[in-house]
Chains A and B, each alone.
Chain A
Amino acid sequence: DAMVIQNPRYQVTQFGKPVTLSCSQTLNHNVMYWYQQKSSQAPKLLFHYYDKDFNNEADTPDNFQSRRPNTSFCFLDIRSPGLGDTAMYLCATSRGGQGEKLFFGSGTQLSVL
């Protein structure tokens, strides 16, 4: 049974056209994360929510925003996608705290044309 679900699996958008990626979880975890992974690169943390508290990484572009309306759902909004935003976007959850592993969704492959 899928525990972290990402939709859509593949997303194609045009340069500058806003796009939203979604993530839901059935684990009731406190923390939800968004990572960006470009081809042959390490996953890079964009931001995370601990409950309702939003935590942005210092180098995450302003073009990337996130919403967490409730425990189960988290969204990644890209306001004006550029060609360089083509990547796999991975959502993950954890209970929070040291030693707690992250559970990942299958990812959304975003292509910006």
Chain B
Amino acid sequence: DAGVIQSPRHEVTEMGQEVTLRCKPISGHNSLFWYRQTMMRGLELLIYFNNNVPIDDSGMPEDRFSAKMPNASFSTLKIQPSEPRDSAVYFCASRTTRRGEQFFGPGTRLTVL
């Protein structure tokens, strides 16, 4: 079975550019989570969806960040405009049950110059 798929795996961009990260959750999973990993703060939850509906976006750092889930098999995290402090690894995870374990994708390493 395919796990959570993220693309691209690496992204290097210049400050001010728009960045779009993509995620395909595991088929049948109805919850999707976006995380950011940094050395200082570890894994931070940015936003999560249940059944394609955003439930909690309190972790989204600024209005420059937005996330969508147009259907059960696809989600995007967009940063516009990007800044150097957005450089981090961004993970997507999905889950089938309300309290079950989350399955993580391989992550996207974002570098903003």
Instruction: Indicate whether A and B interact.
Output: no
